[in-house]
Structure 1
Amino acid sequence: MHPSPATAPAAAVPPRGGRWLRRILIALAILIVAVVLIVLFFPWDVLRGPINRYVSEKTGRRFEITRHLDVKPGLRTARITLDGIEFDNPKWARDPLLVGADKAEIDIRIWPLLRKQVDIPRLMLSAPRIGLQMEEDGRKTWALEKGDDGEAGRGTTPRIGVLQVDGGHLDFLAKHLGVDMRVDFAFDTQKGDMPLSYQMKGRYQSQPLSAQGRTGNVLLLTQAGVPPFPFEIHATAGGTRLDATGSMAALTELDGVDAKVRLKGRNLGDLYRLIGVALPDTSPYQVEGRLLKTGKTWQAQQLAGKLGLSDIGGELQFEKGAARPKLSGKLASKVMDMDDLGPLIGLPPTERSAKAVEGVEAPATLEKTRRRGADVRVLPTAPLDFERLRAMDADVRYTAERIRNVREVPLQRGSVQVALKDGVLELKPLDLGVAGGSIQGAVRIDGSRNPADIRMALDVKALQLNQLIPKVESTKSSLGRLDGRINLAGQGTSVANWLGAASGDVAAMTGRGQFSNLLLEIAGLDGGEVLEFLLRGDKNVRMRCAALAFDVNKGVMNGRTLIFDTDDTLFTATGQASLKDETLDFVIRPQPKDKSILSLRTPLTVRGHFGDPRPGVEAAPLVARGAAALALGAINPLLALAATVETGPGEDADCAGALAEARRPESSEAAQAAERAKAVRR
C-alpha cells in the first residue's frame, strides 16, 4: 500500500539565515583570495612616486626610491626591496645623505606602524653611503620627524635588529663628544666567517683614531635570539693600542661581548677619556686577558701584563647599571718596581719605566723634565684629577709580593685596599713591608670638594736601621730598630700644595743599638780619632737613643726633638724644613764625650733645597780655632795644637725625656691636625 501524495514527507529546506551565512563566507574567501592575488601581483612600483612624496612630506627631507620598488607582504612582516635609495639629512647636517644605497632590503613589522614605531628586524644595504650626526642639543639625523621634534631628537628612531652591508662607507660626527669618524667597508666572500672588512679613521674624544678589522656579514644591532657575530679589531686612539678578537651579540649596546684583548699605551689614566673608566696614572703598560660583557657589567678576566717595569695580573669588574659606575676586583704583582710608583703621585715616569714596553711611544720622563729645568721641585706638583675621582666608585685590592729597585728605601712588600665612593678616595688599609718592619695606616682624599681635604695617618713599626741605611750596613754595624708616625691633615689640589699647607705630627725614634764610631768622628771633624781608627781599625759604639720629631704647622716642619746620642758623642739639632718652599735650615751640634787632639769640632749645617741639600759647617767657630792656632803657633809651633784639643764636655742625653717629648706635638694646631688625620684609620 502506497502513501498518498498528500501524506508524503516534505523535503528539507535550509533556513534563509543559513543560506546567507554560506554566501557571506564564500564571498569573504573570494575577497581574501582576490586581495592576496592583488597584493602578490600588484605592480608596487607604481606607488614609488606617491611613497617618495609621502615620506618627504612627513619627514621634511627628500626621500627617493630612484629605480624600482617591490613589496612582499606577510601577516606580521613585510619585505620591501628598494632598487636605489636616497634619503637626505636635515639641512644642518654636514653630510647631505642620511642613507644612500644601490639597493636596500627592509624587513619591517606591520603592526607597530599603527603606533608610529618603526621596527626593522633586518636591513640589508648594498654599497651604502651613511651620514650620521649628533648635536649637543640632542638633535640626531636619524630621528625621523618633521619640524622641531625631529630637530630636538624626539622624532621616531628606527629600531634595527640585523644589519647587512656589502661595501660602502659610514660617516659619524658628534663635535661635542670630540668624535668625527669615517668607516669604509669591503665585502669578500673568500674570507670565511668574517667576510666584511672595515677601515676606520678620524678622531675619538678629540684624539686621533685609526682602526681596521673584520667581522661577519651580519651585524646584530639589537636583535635577540640570534647567535653572536664574530669580530676582529686593531685600533689606535691617541697613545692607546687595542687588539681584540671574539664575538658580540648586540652592536649598539656592545652587549654579549666575549673577546680576547690586548691593550697597551703610555698611561692607563688615558682610558678615562676613551671609555669612561677612571684608572690611575701609570707608566707605559701592556696587558692582555679575556673581556666579557653582559647587560651593564664588563668583566676583565685572566689579566696578565706589565705596568712599566712591574708585572700585573688579576681580575676587574666594571658595572654601569647603578646610579654611579663601580670598578671592583683584585690585582697583584709578583715584583713591583719602585720606579713605577712616580706617576701614581703625580711624577713623570723614569726613563727606565718609560722604555719598558716595546711599541709604545715613551712619554716625557722625570730625568728629561729636570734636565730642562721645567720643574726643579721634588714634591709632585701635578694637579689631582677631581673629575676622575667623581666619575665612579671603586673597591680594588692590590698586593705586591716583592718590591725591587728601592734604592735608599728598602721596601719589601706592599698591599692596599683602594675604595672610592662619591668622590672620596681611601687607601685603607695600607700596609708596606720596609726594612724588616712595616708602615701601616690609611690615606683619605675627599675629592668631592676643591681643594680636596687630604689626610694621612701612618705608623712606622720596627724598621731595622741596618737595612734602612745600607751605607751603615756596609760597615757591618748592628743597629737598633726605628718606630715612628706621620699624621698630617690639610687641603690641596696636588701632593705638593697639600704638603705645603698641611699640619700635624711627624716623628721617628729609636732606642739602644750600635753605630760606627768612625762615621761619628768624621761628622764631628775629629782628626785625631780618625787617624787612630785608620791605624787601628774602626769600632762600633753603643747608641743610647735617637729621635727626630717635628710639629708641622701649615707646611713648616719645626723640629721639637732632634737628638742622636751615643757613648761617644751627643748630637743635638735645631731648625726647620719648609714643605711649601722645599727648603732646609738645620744646625747640628756635636758634643763629644771623650778627650781628643786635632779636633775641629764645630756645628754642622744642612741647608738648601730638597733636591739639592748643602751640608756644611758654621764658619765662626772654625775661624776662632784657626786664629787661636795661628797665634799660638807664632809663639811655638807645638802650641798650635793646643787650639785643637777637645776636652770632651758632652754629657748623656735624657733619653727617656727626649723620647717622651718626641711622642706628642707641642703646638695645639699640630696636635689638632694630627687627631684629624688619625681619624681616617677608624
Structure 2
Amino acid sequence: MDMRSGQTAPAASLPALHWRDRSRRWARTAWAPAWLERRPGPLRIAIRTIAIIFLTLFAIWLILFITKGRFLKGPFERFATSQLERNVDVGGDFQLYFAPLNIKFHAENISIANPAWAREKQFFTARKVDTRLATFPLLFGNRILRYADLDGARVALEWDEGNKRNSWTFGDPDRPPEPLELPRIRRAAITRSGLTYRDPKLQLFADIDIDTVRATGTRIDDDIRFSGRGTMRAQPFTLSGGLASPNETIAGGKNTLTLHAVGLGNTLDVSGTLPGPTELEGANLKLHARGGNLSRLFDFLGVAIPDTRRYRVTSALTYADEVWKLTGIKGVFGDSDLAGALAVSQPKGRVYLKADLTTRSLNIIDAGPFVGYDPQRLDTMGTGGTVQTVSGRPRLLPDAPLRVEALKRFDANVRYRVTKVRAESFPISHVDLTLALKNGLMELKPFNFVVAGGTVKSDISVDTRPARVRTEYDIRLSPTRLGTLLAGFGTEESGTTGTVSGRVRMVGLGDSVRQSLATSNGRIAFVLPQGTFWTRNIQLAELDIGTFVQKMFQDKLKKPVQINCGLIAFTVRGGVAAADPILIDTQKNVMLGRGGFSFRSEAIDMAVRADGKTFSLFSGQSPVGVQGYFAAPRIDPVSDELAGRAGAGLGLGILASPVAAIIPFIDPGDAKAAQCGPVLAGATAKAQRTSKGKPRDDVGRGTTAKSEDGKQTADGKEKQRKKFLGIF
C-alpha cells in the first residue's frame, strides 16, 4: 500500500524488496558466523572488549620488547623506593620486558639501602642482576624465578641489638620483624658474590662467599660453590659446600647439595637433593652430626637445650609445609643411645620445637648435664665430676644457670622416654617426661619414673618470666618396698616387708638447681606404714648392745622387727630443712630424730635415737649422729651423750664397784608409743600424739638452732648448743 496515497503497491515491487533484505543479511554474515547473530548484544560487547584488551597488551608487549623497557628505569626506582621505604638505585643498564612470556629483569649496579640502625649501609648491591620471572604464578602471589644470574652481589642480613628489627623486613620500620623468605629459583648462576649475617643477641656472625663453576657439556651445568667463616658465642666456625644444578636438557633433574660445617666442637655434614637452588619444599637430605655438646648445634636455631656429653647422630632431613623435620634419628650421647624424631618450625615468627625421643639404656652420668653438671668434668671424672670443693667444703648441687633469655625466644613440646637407667644405687626405669615450654613458662608435666618397683610422679614448673626464676616442685612417691629401695646401700630384701611413700612440695627462686633449692620453702615427708625390717638395723640404731649381742649369739640376727608406723618429715624455710618430725614406732622401741640439713650450705646435722619399750641392761640410749655434707655424709654413733655415759660408768666402776659401771647404760623401757593416725597422715610434729592421745614433747617443733647464745634450738628449748649447719 502506498502510504502517501493509501493505494496498494503493485505486486511487481515485492520481489525487489525481498532481494534487498537478503543482500543486507548476506553483508552482515560475511564477517561473522551465523551463531553470533543469534546471541544477545552484551556478549558481543564482552568479546569485543576482550579483543581490545588483548590488542592493547600485545601493543604493550611489543613496545617493551622493542625498547627492552629501558624507559621504565625511573618509574621503577621511584615505585620500589616507595614500596620498600628504602632507597633503591640502578646505576647502569636497566631492562624490564616480556621475553616472550616470562618477565625479564636486568639491572646493573643496583643497590637497596639498609635501615639507618644497620651496620652495613646497603642491604643489597650487585654489579649485575639478570632474572626470568614466571608471569602467571606471579598473578597468584608466587614468586618463581626460572633463572637468576647474579654477579658481584652482596646481601647484608642483620638483626638489631635487641632482636626487635631485622634488615629484610621492608616497609614500616616499626612493623614486627618477618622471617626470611627466599624466592623460588629453578636455576641460578652466582659469581663473585656473598652474604653476611649478624645476630648480636645470638652472638652469631657469618660471612659467606658464593661462586659458580660452570661445567657445560656434562650432566651438571652449574655448580654453585660456597665457603664461609664466622663466630658463634665468640667461638669460630667454618663451612663449605656446593649446589650442583642439572643441565637444562636434563628433564626432572634434582639439585644436589653438600654441606660441611665445623665449629663449637661440632662437625655437621648434610647431603641430598633440592628441587631448586632455593626450593626447600620437597628437600630430601641426610644429616650426620657429631661433637662434644649437642646443645651447641641447636644454638644455630636459637633453641636452648640442656648440655650433653659427646654425641653422634644421623637422621633424614626434610622440609615440608614450612617445617624442618628430622626423622629416623639414631645415635648416642655419652654412653647412652638416642632415637626418635624432631621438628622445627616458625609459626608467627617464633621458633617452635617438637620432639619425640627415646632411650633404651641411659647411663645416669649422661643425665647429669640435664640438671646442670659440667659434661667435661663428667667425661674426665665420672660420678666424681658431680662434686666440687668450694671454700674447703664439698658441693654436690649443680649451679649451672638456665639460659633464661634463650628460653624466652622459643616454644617447645618434647616427650622423652627411657626404658632403663643404669645407676649404682637406685634401680630406676620407665622414665616418661613431657616438657612444654611456652612464652617463658617451662613445665615438666608429667615427669614420672619407676624406682625400686614404686612410681615417682612429678610436676615441676619453671617460670622464667618474673625478675627471678620461680620453680615449683611437686614430687610424689607411691608405696615402695624398702628392701628393694635400699638394696644398693647394703640392705638385703630378706626379712623386710616394709614400704615407704612420700611427697615433696617446695617453691624456690633462682636460675639454677642450687639457687632454687637454697631459697626454697615447703615440706618433705616420707611415710612408713606397718611392715617388717631387719633386727640388726633397728638394734644398731638404738645402740642396744646387750640385745644386739644376745641376738647375734642366738643366730637371730635377721629376725624381722615389726614397724608399726613411721614418718620422716622436714619443714623447709629459706632453704633450711628441719625435722618435723622424725618418728618411727616399732614393736620394741620408738626412734626419734632432730636437727636437719641445709640446701644452702649442703650441711647435714641430725641425730637419731631409739628409746626402748622394754627393759634392757646394756643400752646406749644415745643419738646416732648423721653429719657432714650431701657429698660426704658420715654416721657418728659415738655422741657426747654416749661419751658422758661411758665416763660416768667408768667413775662409778672405780669409786664403787664394777657392777655400778653398767648403771648409766640401763634402759628402763619407758618409751612412749606413737599414735599412728597422725604419723600415717604425714602431720607435723605439733599434731603428733602418744598412743594414749597425749601431745608428744619429744619430737621437736620443726625448728633448728639459730645461735650459740641460748636462742631457739632444734627441740624448741633454751640451752647451749653448737652453731647449727654453719649458716646462722
Would you call these one fold, judging by a TM-score over 0.5? yes
Query: Are 2:99 and 1:74 aligned?
Result: yes
Assess if the C-alpha contact under 8 Å between 1:426 and 1:445 holds in 2.
yes
Relative to structure 1, the CA distance from residue 488 to residue 635 in structure 2 (aligned partners, 3 Å threshold; closer, same or farther) is closer
**Aligned to 1:333, what secondary structure does the other structure show?**
strand
Relative to structure 1, the CA distance from residue 333 to residue 655 in structure 2 (aligned partners, 3 Å threshold; closer, same or farther) is farther
Letter in 2 for 1:182: D
State the distance in 1 between where 2:62 and 2:576 align: 95
1:293 aligns with: 319
2:643 aligns with: 622
Which residue of 418, 437, 446 corresponds with 2:463?
446
Larger RCO (CA under 8 A, 6+ residues apart) = 1
Letter in 1 for 2:532: G
State the distance in 2 between where 1:153 and 1:550 align: 51
Q: How does 1:107-506 map to 2 (within 5 A)?
A: 107=132, 121-125=145-149, 128-134=152-158, 136=160, 140=167, 161-162=185-186, 164-165=188-189, 167-174=191-198, 176=200, 178-188=203-213, 193=220, 195-204=223-232, 207-217=235-245, 229-249=255-275, 254-271=280-297, 273-321=299-347, 325-349=351-375, 351=377, 367=385, 370=388, 376-404=394-422, 406-470=423-487, 475=492, 477-493=494-510, 494-500=512-518, 501-506=520-525
Relative to structure 1, the CA distance from residue 166 to residue 444 in structure 2 (aligned partners, 3 Å threshold; closer, same or farther) is closer
Relative to structure 1, the CA distance from residue 421 to residue 105 in structure 2 (aligned partners, 3 Å threshold; closer, same or farther) is closer
> Which is worse superposed, 338-347 or 179-188?
179-188
Letter in 2 for 1:442: D
Aligned identity (percent) is 20
Q: How does 1:6-25 map to 2 (within 5 A)?
A: none
For the aligned residue pairs, the C-alpha RMSD in angstroms reads 5.2
Q: How does 1:32-71 map to 2 (within 5 A)?
A: 64-65=91-92
Relative to structure 1, the CA distance from residue 127 to residue 355 in structure 2 (aligned partners, 3 Å threshold; closer, same or farther) is farther
1:551 aligns with: 571
State the distance in 2 between where 1:113 and 1:525 align: 90
Shift of 1:335: 1.2
Shift of 1:375: 8.9
Assess if the C-alpha contact under 8 Å between 2:286 and 2:315 holds in 1.
yes
Letter in 1 for 2:228: M
**Aligned to 2:373, what secondary structure does the other structure show?**
coil
Letter in 2 for 1:200: G
**Cα deviation per residue 1:143-202 (whole Å; 9 max; x = unaligned)?**
7x9xx99xx999xx9967345235424131435464432323454566965833322212
Assess if the C-alpha contact under 8 Å between 1:208 and 1:237 holds in 2.
yes
Relative to structure 1, the CA distance from residue 251 to residue 499 in structure 2 (aligned partners, 3 Å threshold; closer, same or farther) is farther
Shift of 1:289: 1.5
> Which is worse superposed, 440-449 or 641-650?
641-650
Relative to structure 1, the CA distance from residue 614 to residue 420 in structure 2 (aligned partners, 3 Å threshold; closer, same or farther) is same
State the distance in 2 between where 1:135 and 1:202 align: 16
1:585 aligns with: 605
Assess if the C-alpha contact under 8 Å between 1:377 and 1:611 holds in 2.
yes
**Cα deviation per residue 1:379-424 (whole Å; 9 max; x = unaligned)?**
33333444444444443332211121x2222213221333334443
Shift of 1:340: 2.4
Shift of 1:110: 8.6
Shift of 1:55: 6.8
Query: Are 2:528 and 1:509 aligned?
Result: yes
1:657 aligns with: 676
**Aligned to 1:540, what secondary structure does the other structure show?**
coil
2:11 aligns with: none
Shift of 1:314: 1.8
> Which is worse superposed, 169-178 or 371-380?
371-380
Letter in 2 for 1:248: L
Relative to structure 1, the CA distance from residue 252 to residue 195 in structure 2 (aligned partners, 3 Å threshold; closer, same or farther) is closer
> Which is worse superposed, 253-262 or 640-649?
640-649
**Cα deviation per residue 1:480-515 (whole Å; 9 max; x = unaligned)?**
232322241324123333333221342232422131
Query: Are 2:667 and 1:642 aligned?
Result: no
TM-score where L is the length of structure 2: 0.69
State the distance in 1 between where 2:665 and 2:645 align: 14
Shift of 1:463: 1.4
Relative to structure 1, the CA distance from residue 388 to residue 251 in structure 2 (aligned partners, 3 Å threshold; closer, same or farther) is farther
**Aligned to 1:463, what secondary structure does the other structure show?**
strand
State the distance in 2 between where 1:35 and 1:646 align: 116
Relative to structure 1, the CA distance from residue 94 to residue 366 in structure 2 (aligned partners, 3 Å threshold; closer, same or farther) is farther
**Cα deviation per residue 1:335-389 (whole Å; 9 max; x = unaligned)?**
1222222222233337555799xxxxxxxx9728715779943333333444444
Assess if the C-alpha contact under 8 Å between 1:453 and 1:492 holds in 2.
yes
Assess if the C-alpha contact under 8 Å between 2:606 and 2:626 holds in 1.
yes
**Aligned to 1:397, what secondary structure does the other structure show?**
strand
State the distance in 2 between where 1:498 and 1:32 align: 72
Shift of 1:548: 0.9
**Aligned to 2:401, what secondary structure does the other structure show?**
coil
State the distance in 1 between where 2:406 and 2:681 align: 39
State the distance in 2 between where 1:186 and 1:458 align: 58
State the distance in 2 between where 1:665 and 1:643 align: 37
Assess if the C-alpha contact under 8 Å between 2:195 and 2:208 holds in 1.
yes
Relative to structure 1, the CA distance from residue 469 to residue 366 in structure 2 (aligned partners, 3 Å threshold; closer, same or farther) is closer
Give 5+ residue unaligned stretches, structure 2.
Answer: 1-22, 31-55, 82-86, 688-728
Instruction: Report how many aligned residue pairs link the two structures.
Output: 618
Shift of 1:632: 2.0
State the distance in 2 between where 1:490 and 1:209 align: 41
**Cα deviation per residue 1:65-116 (whole Å; 9 max; x = unaligned)?**
5xx999996344355678xx54467598658895455x764335799999xx
Relative to structure 1, the CA distance from residue 210 to residue 216 in structure 2 (aligned partners, 3 Å threshold; closer, same or farther) is same
1:8 aligns with: none
State the distance in 1 between where 2:381 and 2:259 align: 26
Give 5+ residue unaligned stretches, structure 1.
Answer: 1-11, 19-30, 357-364, 669-682
**Aligned to 2:397, what secondary structure does the other structure show?**
coil
Query: Are 2:561 and 1:540 aligned?
Result: no
Which residue of 626, 634, 637 corresponds with 1:606?
626
Relative to structure 1, the CA distance from residue 629 to residue 242 in structure 2 (aligned partners, 3 Å threshold; closer, same or farther) is same
Relative to structure 1, the CA distance from residue 520 to residue 473 in structure 2 (aligned partners, 3 Å threshold; closer, same or farther) is same
Relative to structure 1, the CA distance from residue 620 to residue 505 in structure 2 (aligned partners, 3 Å threshold; closer, same or farther) is closer
**Aligned to 2:647, what secondary structure does the other structure show?**
helix
State the distance in 2 between where 1:456 and 1:128 align: 58
Relative to structure 1, the CA distance from residue 189 to residue 371 in structure 2 (aligned partners, 3 Å threshold; closer, same or farther) is farther
State the distance in 1 between where 2:241 and 2:381 align: 28
Assess if the C-alpha contact under 8 Å between 1:456 and 1:486 holds in 2.
no
Letter in 2 for 1:243: D
**Aligned to 1:543, what secondary structure does the other structure show?**
strand
Letter in 1 for 2:343: Q
State the distance in 2 between where 1:574 and 1:563 align: 9
Relative to structure 1, the CA distance from residue 486 to residue 52 in structure 2 (aligned partners, 3 Å threshold; closer, same or farther) is same
State the distance in 1 between where 2:224 and 2:602 align: 60
State the distance in 2 between where 1:228 and 1:374 align: 64
1:673 aligns with: none
Relative to structure 1, the CA distance from residue 558 to residue 141 in structure 2 (aligned partners, 3 Å threshold; closer, same or farther) is closer
